[in-house]
Amino acid sequence: MSISIRLRSKAGQENIKGLDGNCTLKSFQETIAQKTGIAPSNQKILAGYPPKPLDTINNQDSPISSFITNGDSLTVEELASTTPPPVVSAPPSSNSNSSSNLAAGTSSSSSDGYVIRRLTENDNSCLFSAVAYVLENKNRGRASHLRSVIVQSVKSDPFTFNEGFLGKENSDYCKWITDPKHWGGAIELSILSQHYKIEIGAFDIATKILYCYGEDQNYTDRVYVIYDGIHYDALSICLVKDGPEDYDITQFSSKDKSTLEKMKSFIDRENKEGNFTDTANFQLICLECNKILKGEKEAALHAGQTKHGKFTELKNKQ
């Protein structure tokens, strides 16, 4: 039995075809190590929906067909190593902002360092997890807190956050965005930019366009996230090539052209490698009723009609 998967890791995204479904999990982890540079002992493999970690300790000799099926998307995260991180001449220090509780690393011109895509879970809170990484001390677990921040901001200013802005009545929107099944997008990035008094630059891989929220507010700093059509991840500058998150810088001067050019070059490579989804034509399956949908518009219409909120991309069977 042949299995094809999409693999996401710190090395980027890659389509892997022709895996033998009978190969052992141990052998599969060796393949992942070759593709990602993450040693088997440090791999955390997330599969399914919602994504859950595979038990890689007790199932080394089990066939991979026991855990994954053709067309699955897997995320591989790197667990903390017992080996001390490499020493660099100027490790990042935290800078705090008492008004917004920012602790995302130093603002830097980043003449040195490497752009790195820090992955978030494949769930409906990926935007909030990505923003939490760059604004809340690299803590993806603060995603739910950011939903609360949005609700507080919207409730406190119904004049600004009116139906025309939100697309819903103020109170209805607050209930809607509190539900973890609902995705975030441009509205939420705009609100978070205003709350934290910082520019949030969101790169769209498919178009290579940078949407910069708050750029008309004269904020002094900027953070970056990346969008592949259906999913958000965080962007940072790591002082060590392929280094651990401890060496990430996530907050930069809004006038930092050096970092901006590095980010643009990275997005250009992601675009050329096809690491995005055609949201007009890709197929989704509703995990609540198994209805197959084509494109983002059909998914949005289905969600509005049924209140279903759990979708995953449907891969063509090989």
Which residue numbers are catalytic?
A: 123, 126, 231, 308
Residue 292 near residue 283 (C-beta atoms within 8 A): yes
Nearest Cα neighbor of 43 from 70, 11, 3, 21 is 11
The 3-class SS string of 211-223 reads EEECCCCCCCEEE
Tracing tokens 């810088």 back to the chain, one arrives at 249
Q: What is the CA radius of gyration of the chain?
A: 20
φ and ψ at 242, to 5 degrees?
55, 30
Euclidean distance between the first and final Cα of the chain, in Å? Answer: 10
Q: What CA–CA distance (Å, rounded) separates 97 from 103?
A: 7
Name the token pair of 8: 């996401």
∠ CA 150-152-158, nearest 5°, is: 95
Distances (CA, A) of 174 to 5, 127, 155, 169, 188: 37, 17, 7, 9, 11
